Structures are given as structure tokens and as C-alpha cells.
Amino acid sequence: MEAQEILEKARKGCDQAEVIHIRGQSTPVIFEANRLKSIEEREYSEVGLRVLKNDRFGLSSSTRTSDTLGLVERSLASAAYGPISSMEFPSQQIYPEVSVYDANTPAIALEEMISIGERLIEQMRASWPDVQWDCRVSRSTSNFQIINSRGCSASYDNSSFSISIEGSLVRGEDMLFVQDFETGCHPIVNTSSIKSSLDRQLTWAQNLVAAPVGEIPVIFTPMGLAGVMLGPLLAGFNGKAVLQGSSPLVGKLGERLLDPRITIWDDPTLPYVPGSRTCDDEGIPSRRLALVHEGIIRNFLYDLQTAGQAGTQSTGSASRAPGTLPSPSFSVVIVQPGMTSMSDIIKDQEQALIVDTVLGAGQGNVLGGDFSANVLLGYHVSHGEVIGRVKDTVITGNSYRALQNIRAIGSDSRWLGGTLSAPTICTGGVTVSSQQ
């Protein structure tokens, strides 16, 4: 099913039409309980047709290559009941060169992927023989194509290689879970950074100690920061939430709401970062967008529809599956690192909690920045040293308040999942409680 053929058939029955086609394949190699479990190969292809007819959207999608006529008929029929449009599709655009495809990724042999997983598990078992390890080594490629009736046409290829590993240790009623992962566009053959992270987690977790409680300094590792604070904070930048008045950032553009050391941007133009892209899912060229600069709120995220409703321009932030309408979303979020090493941050604390991973973050008024989370993996810092792991510990707070009370920002920035780069952050304004 060619996108151009669908477009030509659709445009005869509507004012404007747009075709999006996403296809790809993935090959995960899965290990469970230290052993190879399965090798899977998956292929997918989905095409979506969005039309504008009488100022209303119609939409349909299909995974069947022979469903051209049905796709067109369903889209045109749904336009009678679709949402009212506040936009028009873009015309021909000039796109930046964004390299996100490495031919070496799909070419890597399955035997090598198996070997990568086996070596990592063997290395971890040599140091920690009592821990059970689950591991996943995966490669994938995809192609994105979009064309519309106003002359817009864009496509790009993407490659991704990822390694994730989880370790579990059960001793009586005590259960310990550690994890780490790495994702990139290139094949990942060196797993030393993953091993170092897991070694650090397990070393700090050996002793079980009481949690410090009260409103004390909390040190969020990059994973902890992503799991707790960034979600509630970033939700406020969604242009749809701004339009609905549910974002706490309404009317706050240009105001300093966070610590001056906080700078955050969305940048899908970075080369060989899996979340980067030539254009968004409506064909708008990708660009770097400052969200927070030195604590000042600078921009919101808009797709074409929300931008039209807000009387502004799209920020190239549209995201969607072929069968859904676009909505504003982040591509590659960068939290600017600081100048202090994590070890120095720890040394400066009389009493503190380190949060590595959590369960259940997001309860409460998420759009208002509130969070409440059970600490899955956290550590007690006493007199500048990590003395052990805590259990049955809960942290509560507000992302905006916490990021107004920064004590230190780490220099140890790391990538998480190919879509987020974040450092360690030590902050006040967070309450720690424990059931121990």
C-alpha cells in the first residue's frame, strides 16, 4: 500500500489529506534466571490517514496493505463526527539533517547479541553469585514517512540497540531489586558502565538500615529523578494542558519559577540519539526548544492543532500512532548537568536519602507537580557516607517546590532510554516517611 496512492484517492473526497506510514522490525534476545530464554523477531507496519473535510478531522488506520479503499472510506465517514480543526496541514518544508540510523545495528549477528547478554550475566554472577539476573538485548529499525496534499513530504530511518538487565535477591522476607539499561543508535558491545552501575547499587544495598525521616535532603540519581520529579514537572509544559488551564504554568512564561541552576530543553536534532528525528509526526521540522533557562519558563510544547487554538506556531512536538490524533509530546529532554560529583554531593550531607528507583510515582495532583512514591531502591546517607539500603520508605513532595530548593546538581549526567539525559540532583522540600 503506497502512501501516495492513498493520498490521491483521499484528496478527491476532502479538503486536505495526510498519510503517515510507520514500519519496522525488532529482535529481542531474552534471558531469564541467568539463562537464554527466547529470541524473537517482530515486524510491524501501520498506515494512518487523516483528512480535513468541512473543517472537521477524520481518521482511520490499517495494518493491511490491501485496505486502501476501506481506509479512505472510514476516514471520510468519521469526519462527519470528528473534532473541529483549528489548523491546516503544512506545505513543503526544509528539514534538518538528523542522523539516527547506523547500518551496523541491523547487521549485528544474533550470535553476538547472545554473547553480549551472556558475558554481562557471567560478569555479574562472578561478583554477585546469589543474584538472579534477567537480561534483554534488542536491536530494531524503523522507517517513518509522512506526506500530505499541500506538498509536505518527509521520511527518515531510525536504528536502536538496547541492553537492559535486572537483578533480584530474595533472603527470607527481604527482596532486593537492582536494574540498569543503556540505549543508543549504535550497537552496544561495551557493557562496563552497566556493570559499574549495578556494582554500585549492590554494594550500597548490602546493609539494611533504618531510613532517615522528615523533611531532609533527598539525592535523586538520574533514574530517581526521571521516576519521580520530571514527569509531574514536564506535564505542565504540554500545550494542551496550558489551553485547558490545568497546567500550573499558565501565564508563567518569562517568570523564574525554578532554581537558577535549572535549565531544561527539548532537542530532537541531536545525532545518534534514538529519540531524535528529522520532523515531528505532522511533518514539522525538528528544532531545539528551550523549556526552562536558568529557572525561567521559556516555551510550551505545541502540535498544529493546539498551536492553532493558542494562536501560535507549532513547536514541532506532535507525537502519535498512525491510528490516533496527534498531541504535544517531548522528543529528547536534556536537563543541564552541574559541576559537583555525586561523591562530593554525598560527602556534604549530614543526613540524607538517596533515591535510585521508585514504585507508584505520580499519585496526587500530578499536573500541579505533586508526587508520592514508594522507594524501591534507596539508601541512607549519614555523616557523608552511604551506610545502607532502606525499606518501606515513602517520599512525598512537589516538583516545583523541590526544584526551587536545589542544594546541588551533579556532573554525572547520563542517558536514560535514548530520550532523556539527566544528572543527579540533591534537593530539599521533600518529606521522607518510613513504616519501619
pLDDT in tens, 126-170: 999 999 999 999 999 999 999 999 999 999 999 999 999 999 999
- Clarify whether residues 350 and 384 are in a common domain: yes
Please state, in angstroms and as integers, the Cα–Cα distance from residue 179 to each residue in 185, 342, 356, 423, following that order: 21, 19, 10, 17
| Mean pLDDT, residues 233-253 taken together | 94
Distance CA 395, CA 402 (A): 12
Q: Are residues 34 and 109 in the same domain?
A: yes
The residue among 155, 176, 200 that closes a domain is 200
Does this model's pTM top 0.75? My answer is yes
C-alpha cell at 50: 487523516
Same domain, yes or no: 409 and 323 = yes
The helix/strand/coil state of 382 is: strand
Helices (H), 108-191: 110-127
The count of domains in the chain is: 2
- Residue 4, CA distances (Å) to 17, 52, 145 in order: 11, 17, 11
Give the CATH number, domain containing residue 185. Answer: 3.30.2290.10
Of 135, 165, 200, the one marking the end of a domain is: 200
Phi, psi (deg, nearest 5) at residue 353: -120, 130
- Where residue 324 falls (left for φ over 0; alpha for ψ -120 to 50; beta otherwise) is beta
Quote the DSSP letter at residue 212: P
**Same structural domain, 211 and 358:** yes
State the average pLDDT over residues 45-55.
Answer: 96
- Examine the domain organization and report whether 30 and 73 are in the same domain: yes
Q: Are residues 182 and 211 in the same domain?
A: no
What one-character-per-residue DSSP string does 53-113 give?
Answer: ETTEEEEEEES-TT-HHHHHHHHHHHTTTSPBPS----BS----------THHHHS-HHHH
Tell me the residue range of the domain where 66 lies: 3-200
Indicate the residue among 160, 178, 200 that finishes a domain.
200
User: How far, in Å, CA of 427 to CA of 404, rounded?
Assistant: 8
Mean pLDDT on 400-410: 96
Could you tell me if 280 and 338 lie in one domain?
A: yes
Tell me: do 250 and 367 sit in the same domain: yes
Q: How far apart are the first and last CA of the chain?
A: 61
In a shared domain, residues 344 and 250: yes
Do both 144 and 169 map to the same domain? Answer: yes
* Mean pLDDT, the chain, integer: 95
Q: Are residues 140 and 223 in the same domain?
A: no
**Do 235 and 176 share a structural domain?**
no
pLDDT at 290: 98
Average pLDDT on 52-70 reads 90
- The whole-number pLDDT of residue 367 equals 75
